[in-house]
Amino acid sequence: MYSSGTTGASKGVVLTHRNLIAMIELFVRFEASQYDYLSLENVYLAVLPMFHIYGLSLFVMGLLSLGSAIVVMRKFDANEMVKAIDRYRVTHFPVVPPLLMALTARAKGVSRSSLQSLKQISCGAAPLSRKSIEEFVQTLPHVDFIQGYGMTESTAVGTRGFNT
């Protein structure tokens, strides 16, 4: 797998089969402990690229191993994102900061009945300002917000906060 690291210059990162299996196990245990987890009741929206460790570890391996429903968007479009969340009753939406900011901005212009299926947003892969988090929480107070940090070298998640 390749990583841009902290410099932006691509470099190869060696991940073993054991790394990936351990990451799946960690993900399954964590997700299964949330919300009296029933995989058939949760629907995830996938916008993150699957060639990135966040998308690969979450969608391709973690969620498939749980048997979760995954709605895949071909590309990001804020209007289509809202339509997909409402149409498929998406409950979980893993994002990166630009997607979180787009969702927050778009949520301000939708009806109160829209986006009500969302239970959790998890955000990572880049820094996120306190202001952006506070604005999101004020805009969609019924949605749990979790921020995480990880590296390609650690097979994604290094640390993850509790729900806000």
**Tens of pLDDT, residues 100-130:** 999 999 999 999 899 999 999 988 878 889 9
Taking the C-alpha atoms of residue 1 and residue 10, their distance in angstroms, rounded to an integer, is 10
State CA 96 to chain mean position distance: 7
pLDDT digits (tens, 9 = 90+) for 72-85: 999 999 999 999 99
CATH assignment at residue 137: 3.40.50.12780
Residue linked to tokens 């995989």:
39
| Number of domains comprising the chain | 1
3-state helix vs strand vs coil in the chain, percent to 5: 40, 20, 40
Does residue 42 or residue 99 have the better pLDDT? Answer: 99
Residue 21 identity: I
Most confidently modeled range among 27-31, 59-63, 111-115, 148-152: 111-115
Instruction: Return d(Cα 53, Cα 50) in angstroms, integer.
Output: 7
Q: Rounded to two decimals, what is the model's pTM?
A: 0.83
Q: Can you give the residue range of the structural domain that contains 123?
A: 2-160
Mean pLDDT of 137-157: 84
Q: Name residues whose C-beta falls within 8 Å of residue 162's C-beta, 6 or more positions apart in sequence.
A: 146
CB atoms within 10 A of CB 31: 22
- Judging by beta carbons within 10 Å of its beta carbon (0-12, 13-18, 19+), is residue 131 exposed, middle or buried? exposed
